[in-house]
Structure 1
Amino acid sequence: MSTSIWVDYLDREFLQGEFKDLVNSGLVNGLTSNPAIFANALKKDIYKEDFERLKGKSPKEKYEEIAVKDIQLACDILKDKYEEGDDGYASIEVDPRLINDAKGTIDEALRLYDKIQRDNVMIKIPANEAGYKAMEELAKRGININATLVFSPNQAMRALEAISKGPRTIDGVISIFVSRFDRKLNPQLAMQNLAKDRVGFFNAIKIYNQIEEKGHPNIRALFASTGVKQEYLPKDYYVQNLYLPHSVLTLPLDVIEEIKDKELEESFHFQTKHIDAFMSFLTPAGINMQKVYQELFDEGVKAFEEAFEGMLNSIKE
């Protein structure tokens, strides 16, 4: 199975225009969203009518109604892809404030799933203890799962184990965050004269290898956090290094724009032993990867919680 390209962006204007074109052109066959993406989308004028209609409702109810409508629209645009067996999924994330609440996460996921009423929706659940319980329960109920905020091989394996408890008829992706490693570690690596901008994709390929070794045709690695902030790197830097079979790349719009007219080629597939050889230089350089994994997860959770809270505050009456 080849590499899939999903778009990591959403707002209603985009869905009604450019997104349709990207899907029809065959470049894109899925969509991901997160609390930060919705927080930015809801600032747009296109939602004014919705907010008028929803006056009197709580901020969370307003958000949910609009989010459900947008995800339904994305699912409908992707329906033909889904029916052809060519992905066709749109992902929505549970309230990030439920991060340590397994029951709350399950209840919210089921409510969103029942409201959206589309077979090609994926529910995004953060990969932590509460999340693994929720993933397993939801997978058993036949709901497609996107395990998110994955930084470490251990998280990926726990998520894979949870999703694999569901029937083979569901699909799961394990969203491995990439660029945040490089932004965090580059200053330290430069001080030690070690190669910059490698840890992100090496870590991702190591996890990809582990997922592939498990041999679940319906569970794939998804490479997330693929935007490039370093000006000296090409915008499609992570696409060049992570275009691997039986995987998904979810890309922000500027990266989609960059690859639109390119012939994409399969990336060099590093073996785990070669990645481990590179990673072995990190400890002497004072980099503890277990600590980095935890810090990045905590930072990711905090960023999503803050974006969500900020968005709810901005749509109060």
Structure 2
Amino acid sequence: MSTSIWVDYLDREFLDTTFKEWVNSGLVNGLTSNPAIFANALKKDIYKEDFERLKGKSSKEIYEEIAVKDIQKACDILEPLYDEGNDGYASIEVDPRLINDTKGTIDEALRLIDKIQRDNVMIKIPANEAGVKAMEELAKKGININATLVFSPNQAMQAAEAISKGPRTIDGVISVFVSRFDRKLNPVLKEKNLAQDRVGFFNAIKIYNQIENMKMPNIRTLFASTGVKQDYLPADYYVENLYLPHSVLTLPLDVIEAIKDKELEESFHFQTKHIDGFFSFLTPAGINMQKVYQELFEEGVEAFEKAFEDMLNSIKG
């Protein structure tokens, strides 16, 4: 399978217009969402009617009703692709506050699946110990899984092993976050005269190679957090370096705009020996990658929890 482009964005107006056009033209064939994306979407006027209609319900009930409706719409637009076996998945994340609650995660995932009632929905679950256990149970029940907030090769392998316990009829993606490494480590690398803007995609390629070596056609690496944070880089910097077969790139709107008229070519210009060589310089430079993986995961969890809480508070008014 070649590289798939998914869009990392959602709001109802976008689904009815641009998203539909992009899907019909073959530009994108999937969608991801997260608490921060929904928090921004719900500020738009198009949701005023929903808020009015759902008055009296709890903030989480209101959010969930709206999120389910939007994900159903995305799934319906993507359904022809799914039926052809050409992806067509839309992802929704479980409540990020369930981060250490395996049973709560499983219950929430099953409830969302029951409400959404679409075969082409993927449930996003953070890849920590509790999440990996939940992934295994849900995969065994035939649910498509998006393992999210993946930073380390160890996390990726644990999540992939968990998903592999399900039937081969389900699909799973391992969402490896990319740009956050460079934002965090560039100042240190600059100080030590080491190449900047490499750790993110080198780490992602390392994980991609491990996943591919499992030889599981229904489990792919998904490259997430692909928007550039540095003004001097082109918007499609990470796409150019991570356009790999049997993988997914989920992209923010500005990156899709940057690539939509381009002929993208598979990127194999960095070999394993180059990547291993680069990482061998990091420890002497005082960079402990295990510590970085843990910090980035904790920061990601905190950001999603905060976005979710802020969204619920804004619904309360």
Q: Do the two structures share a fold, i.e. TM-score over 0.5?
A: yes
1:261 maps to 261
1:230, distance to aligned residue in structure 2 (A)? 0.4
What is the number of residues matched between the two proteins?
Answer: 317
Verify: 1:113 aligned to 2:113, yes or no.
yes
- Give secondary structure in 2 for the equivalent of 1:170: coil
Residue by residue over 1:156-206, the C-alpha shift from the partner in whole angstroms, topping out at 9 and shown as x without a partner, is: 000000000000000000000000000000000000000000000000000
Q: Given the alignment of the two structures, is residue 63 of structure 1 paired with residue 68 of structure 2, yes or no?
A: no
Q: Deviations over 1:118-157 (max 9, x none)?
A: 0000000000000011000000000000000000000000
SS at match of 2:290: helix
CA contact (8 A) 1:136 1:166 kept: yes
**What is the identity, as a one-letter code, of the residue corresponding to 1:98?**
L
CA distance in 1, matches of 2:157, 2:174: 9
Please list every run of 5 or more consecutive structure 2 residues that lacks an aligned counterpart in the other structure.
none
Counterpart-to-counterpart distance in 1, 2:168 and 2:268? 30
3-state SS of 2:31 partner: strand
- Report the equivalent of 1:138: 138
| 1:86 alignment partner AA | N
Q: Distance in 1 between matches of 2:269 and 2:174?
A: 19
Aligned residue for 1:227? 227
Q: Is the 8 A contact 1:206 1:275 kept in 2?
A: yes
Aligned residue in 2 for 1:295 = 295
| SS of structure 2 residue aligned to 1:287 | coil
Once the two structures are TM-superposed, the CA of residue 268 in structure 1 deviates from its matched residue by 2.0
> What CA distance in whole angstroms lies between the structure 1 residues aligned with 2:218 and 2:312?
35
Q: Secondary structure at the match of 1:147?
A: strand
Match of 1:170 in 2: 170
Counterpart Cα distance in 1 of 2:268 and 2:211: 17
SS at match of 2:316: coil
- CA-to-partner distance for each residue in 1:18-44, whole Å, 9 max, x for gaps? 000000010100000000000000000
- Conserved 8 A contact 1:244-1:269: no
Q: Distance in 2 between matches of 1:31 and 1:240?
A: 20
* Structure-2 residue corresponding to 1:305: 305
Question: How far apart are the structure 1 equivalents of 2:73 and 2:83?
Answer: 16
Distance 2:257 2:58 in 1: 37
Return the alpha-carbon distance in structure 1 between the equivalents of residues 221 and 132 of structure 2.
Answer: 16
Report how far residue 275 of structure 1 moved: 1.0
* Counterpart Cα distance in 1 of 2:17 and 2:205: 34
Shift of 1:276: 1.1
The amino acid that maps onto 2:165 is K
In structure 2, give the amino acid aligned to 1:303: A
Alignment-derived partner of residue 240 in structure 1? 240
Alpha-carbon distance in structure 2 between the residues aligned to 1:150 and 1:189: 22
- 2-side partners of 1:74 and 1:31: how far apart? 7
Structure 2 residue 23 is matched with structure 1 residue 33 = no
Task: Return the alpha-carbon distance in structure 1 between the equivalents of residues 56 and 5 of structure 2.
Answer: 39
* Aligned counterparts, 1:163-202, within 5 A: 163-202=163-202
Whichever residue aligns with residue 226 of structure 2, its letter is T
SS at match of 2:241: helix
Cα distance in structure 2, aligned partners of 1:191 and 1:51:
50
In the other structure, the counterpart of 1:47 is 47
The residue type paired with residue 275 of structure 2 is I
Distance in 2 of aligned mates of 1:292 and 1:167: 34
Q: What amino acid maps onto 1:286 in structure 2?
A: G
Find the counterpart in structure 2 of residue 15 from structure 1. 15
Which residue does 2:126 correspond to in 1? 126
What is the TM-score when the length of structure 1 is the normalising length? 0.99
Report how far residue 272 of structure 1 moved.
2.7
Q: CA deviation at 1:269?
A: 4.8
The AA in structure 1 aligned to 2:31 is L
Q: After the TM superposition, which residues 248-287 of structure 1 pair with which residues of structure 2 at under 5 Å, given as runs?
A: 248-287=248-287
User: Which letter maps to 2:2?
Assistant: S
Normalized against structure 2, the TM-score is what?
A: 0.99
- 1:289 CA displacement: 0.1
Q: How far apart, in 2, do the equivalents of 1:203 and 1:6 lie?
A: 21
| Counterpart secondary structure, 1:222 | strand
Where structure 1 has 5 or more consecutive residues not aligned to the other structure, the ranges are none
Following TM superposition, where does structure 1 have runs of at least 4 consecutive aligned residues deviating by more than 4 angstroms? none
- Tell me by how many angstroms 1:274 deviates: 2.4
